[in-house]
Amino acid sequence: MVSVSDLNAVLEFPILIGDIGGTNARFAIIVDAFADTREFPVIQTADFATIDEAIQSVLDQTNLIPRSALLAVAGPVEGDEIDMTNSNWVVRPREMMDALNISDIIVLNDFEAQALAVVALGEEHLEKIGGGVASTVGSRVVLGPGTGLGVSGLIHARRTWVPVPGEGGHVDLGPRNDREIAIFRHVEKIEGRISAEQILCGRGIVNLYRAVVTADGGTPVLSSPEDITSAALARSDAAAVETLDLFVTLLGRVAGDLALIFMSHGGVYLAGGIVKKILPALTSGRLRAAFEDKAPHGHLMSEIPIYVITHPLAALAGLAAYARTPARFGVKTSGRRWRSS
């Protein structure tokens, strides 16, 4: 049974908040419930051996001493040692408390923070792609291709927003026509299977591009997701164009599957740096068509709006909203909160 104290976790200010992905880590400090968030420069995870060292480098930039920390990490939060999915960092909250003199630490999944952001952001930070009017209390889905593919849900119940963390980026993904079958034969597999994350992330774009080129008997000439997406948007490389078109189609299909699972009348929200960079491709109609192609529920899908989150630090905004008003959110902290005795 979940107690009220497990859900309404009040942290003592100042609070260090952090959005920690496989490539980048973003940190900020909230002095009190009414003060502006003090943000710090983005950190490259590869530049530091441990997360504790990275946080210490942030704290060295300020005279503020956090009493609490609210961290969102890319990976499942289980036990006292939290392995990150696409990084060598291991989060050890008990050791962190001693090393950084922080007395209270909560660790969430990174896409829980993105889900919290969905109700914290204004319309100015959301680019709508089709669909009808979102229900103000309807269930929502958040997914984002980045270093990996993050997925979370958001459900409204008893006047609170409850984020639903998970590892939905690792669902199976397959082809639907002859051309896709030919391409998928050459997509790199993990232990015999192709998950959504094998295609719908940064390295996945490269994986998909190589498969497209190989299916046509060619030799790949582009090697980074930035080069591939730039060439696709400029329409200067036919294989890159097909890669991005298929990437957008597959993203639409997965988003549609998740919308059906959550019956997300509150909308589907696309997060992360990749979606902002390929926004012209997302608004071309291909994403929307794939999203709605869910017979016999095409009409239902046509009513669900899709939004691209354009806020540069959306996850931090979500964490800040929770830190200031935890009672607004039903975040379960049992097993994910560490406090000094």
Question: Strand 43-44 and strand 24-30: pairing?
Answer: antiparallel
Domain carrying residue 213: 122-310
Task: Average the pLDDT over 193-220 and give the result.
Answer: 96
210, pLDDT greater than 50: yes
- Whether residue 4 has pLDDT greater than 80: no
DSSP 326: G
Q: What is the pLDDT of residues 117-155, one digit of tens each?
A: 998 899 999 999 999 999 999 999 999 998 889 899 999
DSSP codes joined into one string, 200-218: SSHHHHHHHHHHHHHHTT-
* Closest alpha carbon to 168 in 146, 150, 142, 194: 150
Instruction: Dump pLDDT digits (tens) for 99-115.
Output: 999 999 999 988 889 99
Looking at the fold, whether 88 and 160 belong to one and the same domain comes out as: no
Are residues 111 and 160 located together in one domain of the fold? no
pLDDT above 60: residue 79: yes
Same domain flag for 151 and 276: yes
pLDDT score at 7: 52
pLDDT, one tens digit per residue, over 15-70 is: 999 999 888 899 999 999 888 899 999 999 999 999 999 999 999 999 999 999 99
pLDDT of residue 338: 95
Give the pLDDT of residue 3: 43
What's 41's domain CATH number?
3.30.420.40
Q: What is the total count of domains within the chain?
A: 2
Same domain? 111 vs 187? no
Confidence grade of residue 87 (pLDDT, cut at 50, 70, 90): confident
Asked if residue 136 and residue 225 are part of one domain, the reply reads yes
> Do 187 and 195 contact (CB within 8 A), yes or no?
no
Q: What is the mean pLDDT of residues 84-100?
A: 89
Q: For residues 2 and 237, which has the higher predicted lDDT (pLDDT)? A: 237
* Burial 101-137, CB ≥16 within 10 A → b, else e: ebebbbbbbbbbbbbbbbbbbeeebbbebbbeebbee
Residue 75 phi, psi dihedral angles, 5° rounding:
155, 165
59 and 157 in a common domain: no
Shortest CA distance to 93 belongs to which of 84, 79, 80, 75? Answer: 80
Both 192 and 290 in one domain: the answer is: yes
* Measured distance CA(167)–CA(163) in Å, rounded: 13
- Asked whether the predicted pLDDT for residue 290 surpasses 60, the reply is yes
Looking at the structure, tell me whether residues 219 and 111 fall in a common domain.
no
Question: Average pLDDT of the chain?
Answer: 93
Say if CB 204 and CB 193 are below 8 A apart. no
Read off the pLDDT band of 304 (50, 70, 90). very high
Report the predicted TM-score, pTM, of the whole model to 2 decimal places. Answer: 0.89
Give just the sign of the alpha carbon dihedral 272, 333, 96, 92: negative
Same domain, 197 and 64: no
**Shared domain check, 286 and 194:** yes
**Domain co-membership, 157 together with 213:** yes
Same domain, 329 and 290: no
Question: What pLDDT, on the 0 to 100 scale, is given for residue 6?
Answer: 55
